Every structure is written in C-alpha cells, then in structure tokens.
Amino acid sequence: MTITKGKKDELFAKYKADLNGATNAVIVQQKSIPVNVANKIRIDMKATHGDMNIIKKRIFVKAIKDVGLEEINVDALEGSVFALYAHENEFGPLKVINKYLKELKKDNKGSEFIFLGGWFEKKWQGAEYVNELANVPTKEELLSKLCYLFNYPLQSFACVLSEIAKKSGVVVEVKAEVKVEVKEEVKAEEAPTAEAKVEEIPAAE
C-alpha cells in the first residue's frame, strides 16, 4: 500500500520519538495472530509501561540510523513485524510476548511470534540473545522458587512427623521402658553408697 510523503514524515518522526524514549527496542515477527490475543497483549503491555507498534520497515530502518542506533539491513526484518519498546520495566514487554509465544506454540494452530533481534545499549543483538533475555526468571519468579526450596525440607519433615504420629503408640512404649530401666539402675547403684555413709556415722556415747 502506497503512503503519502506527509504520512512517511509522520511515521519517521514517531519512530524516532519511540526509539529515543525506550530503554531497549525489540523486533518481533508475527504470523496469523488472532484479534483476541492481540487485544490481550496490548492490555498486558500497558501494565509493563511498554509499547508495541506495527512498523513500515524502510522508514523504521532510516529512523534507526537517525537516532544513532547500530544500523541493520532491512532484509533482517523479515515478514510482518512490529517494534516492542521497553520503558520503566526493561524486560517486561519481552516477558509479555514470550508468554503468548509459548501459549501459541502449545496451541499449534499456525499462529506464532518470533524474536528477530533488538537494540540494547544502542547495539543490535540477534534472536538468540533476545530469547535468552525473554526466558530469564523475573524477581517474583526467583522469590517463588526460593520459597519452594526453603519450604521443601519443612514439608518433608512434616511428612516424617505424620508417619511417626501414626506409630506413636510404639514410640511411647519404648520410651517408657527406657525410663524405667534407667531409674532402677540408678537406685541400685545409690543403695550401697547410702549404706556406707551409715557405717561412717560414729555411735552416740
């Protein structure tokens, strides 16, 4: 679809503003994304203070050069693509797309997202780098795993106590026998000592 020069200038200015205002920018290829999924993504994206916009590739590549980011060939932006911009939450937008990427892959209905690469500290990083970042656990996920690791030994200990409780009659009986035997032995040992002390007391005159 042909667009006017005025529209091109408008898009060029918008791309520059978006790139300058972002902490990082990622390019994502999309294939047959359902409207309801796209709407959910936009809602989730707002929660991360991120933005996403379908781009005109040649105008976008021109804007990249103008804002001082590492240049790439337009051929690197294969297929229908959109730009993902992060602001306050550096990796939040990536996490949102990665979440739906996994869901679409699981559904296996021909819809998918593919990370093509992105700009981090003004340098272009490929798909592998972006995928690694997208799969790094968040602070909340790490805390959840840490809590599980702390709680697991306690849960195991609770199971052991539960099993002991089921056999508590046997345990109590064993403890009682031990206590009785100890007391009897102590008395047996103490008796001679008492007799010896009596013998040492001088007779009254």
Residues 163 and 64 in one domain: no
Residue 162 confidence (pLDDT): 66
15: CATH: 3.30.70.1730
Residue 183 has pLDDT above 60, yes or no: no
pTM of the predicted protein model: 0.68
Residue that is last in its domain, among 118, 136, 154: 136
Residue 187 has pLDDT above 50, yes or no: no
In a domain, 44, yes or no: yes
Residue 40 confidence (pLDDT): 95
Answer yes or no: are the C-beta atoms of 151 and 158 closer than 8 Å.
Answer: no
Residues 130 and 151 in one domain: no
Instruction: Name the strands in the sheet holding 81-86, side by side, starting at the edge strand that comes first in the sequence.
Output: 51-54, 81-86, 24-31, 112-120, 123-126
Mean pLDDT of 46-66: 95
Domain holding 161, by residue range, is: 143-199
Position 180 confidence tier, pLDDT thresholds 50, 70, 90: very low
Residues 75 and 9 in one domain: yes
Round to whole Å and give the CA distance between 51 and 15. Answer: 12
Position 26 confidence tier, pLDDT thresholds 50, 70, 90: very high
In a domain, 187, yes or no: yes
183 or 166: which leads in pLDDT: 166
Residue 184 has pLDDT above 60, yes or no: no
3-class secondary-structure state, position 112:
strand
132 or 162: which leads in pLDDT: 132
Phi, psi of 121 (to 5 degrees): 55, 40
Residue 2 confidence (pLDDT): 79
3-class secondary-structure state, position 71:
coil
In a domain, 13, yes or no: yes
Residue that is last in its domain, among 116, 136, 156: 136
CA torsion, ordered 191, 197, 200, 204, to nearest 10 deg: -100
Mean pLDDT of 84-104: 94
Residue 19 confidence (pLDDT): 97
Residue that is last in its domain, among 82, 110, 136: 136
Residues 19 and 59 in one domain: yes
Residue 92 has pLDDT above 60, yes or no: yes
Residues 18 and 111 in one domain: yes
Rg of the Cα atoms in the chain = 36
Mean pLDDT of 157-184: 52
| pLDDT tens string 116-151 | 999 999 999 999 999 999 998 766 655 665 665 666
Residues 62 and 89 in one domain: yes
Residues 100 and 177 in one domain: no
Count structural domains, the chain: 2
In a domain, 204, yes or no: no
Residues 74 and 149 in one domain: no
| pLDDT tens string 33-54 | 999 999 999 999 999 999 999 9
Residue 164 has pLDDT above 80, yes or no: no
Residues 29 and 127 in one domain: yes
Mean pLDDT of 19-35: 96
